[in-house]
Chains A and B, each alone.
Chain A
Amino acid sequence: MNLPALLDCVSSSSCVVTQVSTGLIIGMLLFLVASGLTLIFGVLGVINFTHGSFYMLGAYFALTAYRVSGSYFEAVIVRALGVAVFGVVFERLFISSVYNSNVLMQLLVCYAFILILDDVVKIVWGTDFQTMGMPSTFALPPIHLFGGFVPPFYVFLTGLTVAAAVGLSVLVNKTRFGKLVRAAAVNRQMLACLGVNTSLLYGAVFGLGSLLAGAAGALAAPVRSMSPEMGFSILIESFIVTVIGGMGSIIGAFFAAVLVGIIRAVGSIGYPLFTDGLMFAFMALVLLVKPTGLFGRKLA
């Protein structure tokens, strides 16, 4: 524990700005991953433990695409779509065959894929840490804010994520597709009886979730270094976010992601070795007080 460092930081506004913006960035990336996780759980009832690996794939795909094409935006869009396609194929081929099995079977299928994808990444991209570097589009002088410096990319990333959050909740709450998705979450059989192709719907939801994870990976590429273990760590973090926010709740995921991001950023100064512990303690507390999470609905 390093309380003096923490107090030092809190008393200087530049440090506060830096830590809060770092926390926000972590939170934004976490939200993108966690929203996919929570969406898939809310509708399909499956906890997709491979979600972290999708994020990893997104980051590595973006790295390659950026090196090939040189355009960051192209890389993000193309790669997020690539991961979405991968997600749909994965859902159709593997996950769909364990919907009716118990949780442990689903867990094992996902675990098998975590192992496989990690090694595939090692084979294709190597085991070393890799960085993409800031794309030239964002190689601008940092923005001054209350004595602190905020890279322009952070602003772009935050804006994009907020837009994605708003877009996602509009999609789920206001559109016909959203209505079908919510109906499928309540009673899949009934929806199928009414003539809706629920397999297609499930595939679409899984694809959407994977798209978000892939986009998060591609967006994280310039600010976080890449290693074959990155999928694991983001999985755990976004899982915590999902649980704190309430499984199946997108708004909850957003607030929880920002909260966890800030806890991480502040904790890394005050309690560098216990940052994970802080997050898990917080999650345990939320679960004990309100098992369905801060924004979760009551379970039937």
Chain B
Amino acid sequence: MALSGCLAVIVLALAFNNPQFADFVLRLTIFGSYALSLNLLIGYTGLVSFGHAMFFGFGAYAFGLLMQTERVSIPLAFAASIAGAAVLAVSIGALCIRLKDIYFGILTLAFQMLLHAVILSWVSVTGGDQGLQGGIPRPPFFGVDLSHPKQFFVLACVIFFGLVLLVRQIVESPFGYSLRMVRDNPERALALGLAVQRYKLAAFVISGTIAANAGIMMSLYVSGAYPNFAYWTLSGDGILMIMLGGMTVFLGPIVGAGIFLLLNGIITRTTEYSGLVMGIVLLSVVLGLRRGVLDFVVERCGNLGRAALFTRRIEL
């Protein structure tokens, strides 16, 4: 089903050949996987991270800097950036998971802002507040030429659907159910012999590397990296996407990312006061629906909705 969905989107986009639609789909693959990775932490493991953008920003900068040396191929730079993000996630995660609840969130925020400050102040390497200048070269590899928009589009879609399937495998595996137990009752999990801290760390690392992947795709897409990739507003946007779409449904974050991108696009095009409109929309969702859009759909339509969405209910 996912495969057919993937094909459908690619065919549809290629058939329409509409640059605006293609742009939307590309951004959706990037921010959809970013939000999905964050929900692995927040929704499934109960670790509310306020600093998820650090991995997005790290991925974008690491990849961009590696490519600008012009000595590595895209797959190699990709693998190195992901590995770097994993190392970063292990070291920061090991420190953060020692704290609980809100304190965990604040510490992740602190590390993210630290990375942001490093990016801003290390001007000779990162370009400071101007971002990574000069574009990111895209040498062809394995017969794939990413400077060709259609090839890039197809690759982005394939990676995105691969990731969605991967995350789905993870959350439906015994490991995924252990994460839910860690979220719901850590004492019980510990008593049953689960290494709770290790599970938390594993979730943190998996989630961080997927976010780094999103950052890499973003840097490839916009051919640059900017400090706001690692700023707290992007972490906030991630949480927003999850909450808009619904954190108890597997596809919620992706739908949320779509709603967020659409809203943002429409609002910035039609009004100067985007914050005012966005704020009011947010308030009505939070206080009106009191849950994400997909949560709402699943609750209303029961099993039918769940089957249609190809998802299983997660109790929060």
**Which residues does A use to contact B, with CB under 8 Å?**
47, 94, 97-98, 101, 103-105, 107-109, 111-116, 118-120, 122-123, 236, 239, 243, 271, 273-274, 276-278, 280-281, 283-284, 287-288, 291-292
List, in ascending order, chain A residues with CB within 8 A of B297's CB: none
Contact B273 A123, beta carbon cutoff 8 Å = yes
CA gap between A288 and B92 in the complex, in Å: 11
Contact B103 A287, beta carbon cutoff 8 Å = yes
List, in ascending order, chain A residues with CB within 8 A of B118's CB: 274, 277
Q: Is the interface of A mostly helix, strand, loop or mixed?
A: helix
Contact A104 B282, beta carbon cutoff 8 Å = no
CA gap between A233 and B106 in the complex, in Å: 16
Contact B102 A273, beta carbon cutoff 8 Å = no
Contact A287 B117, beta carbon cutoff 8 Å = no
| B256 vs chain A, min Cβ distance (A) | 12
List, in ascending order, chain B residues with CB within 8 A of A276's CB: 113, 116-117, 120
List, in ascending order, chain B residues with CB within 8 A of A113's CB: 279, 283
Contact A280 B113, beta carbon cutoff 8 Å = yes
Q: List 27 A-B contacts (CB under 8 A).
A: A105-B243, A107-B239, A108-B239, A108-B240, A111-B279, A112-B278, A112-B280, A114-B279, A116-B279, A119-B274, A119-B279, A236-B113, A274-B118, A276-B116, A277-B113, A277-B114, A277-B118, A277-B121, A280-B110, A280-B113, A280-B117, A284-B111, A284-B114, A287-B107, A287-B110, A291-B99, A291-B103
| B203 vs chain A, min Cβ distance (A) | 17
| A155 vs chain B, min Cβ distance (A) | 33
Within 8 A of A (CB), among B93-138: 95, 98-99, 101-103, 105-107, 110-111, 113-114, 116-118, 120-121, 123, 128
By the criterion of a CB under 8 Å from any partner CB, how many residues of chain B are at the interface?
A: 39
List, in ascending order, chain A residues with CB within 8 A of B275's CB: 115-116, 118-119
Residue from B42, B95, B279 whose CB has the most chain A CB atoms within 10 Å: B279
Among residues of B, the one whose C-beta sits closest to the C-beta of A94 is: B287
Contact A112 B283, beta carbon cutoff 8 Å = yes
Contact A112 B121, beta carbon cutoff 8 Å = no
A122-B273 contact given A111-B236, A274-B121, CB 8 Å threshold: yes
List, in ascending order, chain B residues with CB within 8 A of A107's CB: 239
List, in ascending order, chain A residues with CB within 8 A of B121's CB: 271, 273-274, 277
Contact B287 A273, beta carbon cutoff 8 Å = no
List, in ascending order, chain A residues with CB within 8 A of B144's CB: none
List, in ascending order, chain B residues with CB within 8 A of A112's CB: 278-280, 282-283, 286
Residue from B48, B275, B290 whose CB has the most chain A CB atoms within 10 Å: B275
Q: Does B12 contact A (CB under 8 A)?
A: no
List, in ascending order, chain A residues with CB within 8 A of B95's CB: 288
| A80 vs chain B, min Cβ distance (A) | 24
- From the candidates A108, A120, A243, name the one contacting B286 in the complex (CB within 8 A): A108
| A124 vs chain B, min Cβ distance (A) | 12
CA gap between A115 and B113 in the complex, in Å: 21
CA gap between A122 and B271 in the complex, in Å: 13
Contact A101 B290, beta carbon cutoff 8 Å = yes
List, in ascending order, chain A residues with CB within 8 A of B110's CB: 280-281, 283-284, 287
List, in ascending order, chain A residues with CB within 8 A of B283's CB: 94, 109, 112-113, 116
List, in ascending order, chain A residues with CB within 8 A of B190's CB: none
CA gap between A109 and B282 in the complex, in Å: 8
| A73 vs chain B, min Cβ distance (A) | 33
Contact B276 A109, beta carbon cutoff 8 Å = no
| Other contacts beyond A123-B273, A273-B128, A280-B117: 20, CB < 8 A | A97-B287, A98-B286, A104-B42, A104-B48, A108-B240, A109-B287, A112-B278, A112-B282, A116-B283, A118-B275, A119-B279, A122-B273, A243-B106, A273-B120, A276-B116, A277-B113, A280-B111, A280-B113, A287-B110, A291-B103
List, in ascending order, chain B residues with CB within 8 A of A284's CB: 107, 110-111, 114
Among residues of A, the one whose C-beta sits closest to the C-beta of B236 is: A111
List, in ascending order, chain A residues with CB within 8 A of B48's CB: 103-104
Contact B99 A120, beta carbon cutoff 8 Å = no
Proximity string of chain B (13-41) to chain A, C-beta cutoff 8 Å, 1 when within and 0 when not:
00000000000000000000000000000
| B97 vs chain A, min Cβ distance (A) | 12
Among residues of A, the one whose C-beta sits closest to the C-beta of B233 is: A232
CA gap between A273 and B103 in the complex, in Å: 26
Contact B276 A115, beta carbon cutoff 8 Å = yes
CA gap between A243 and B113 in the complex, in Å: 15
Within 8 A of A (CB), among B285-304: 286-287, 290
Contact B114 A108, beta carbon cutoff 8 Å = no
List, in ascending order, chain B residues with CB within 8 A of A97's CB: 287
A108-B243 contact given A274-B117, A284-B114, CB 8 Å threshold: yes
| A275 vs chain B, min Cβ distance (A) | 8
| B100 vs chain A, min Cβ distance (A) | 8
CA gap between A108 and B121 in the complex, in Å: 31
CA gap between A277 and B116 in the complex, in Å: 8
Contact A111 B273, beta carbon cutoff 8 Å = no
- From the candidates A122, A271, A287, name the one contacting B106 in the complex (CB within 8 A): A287
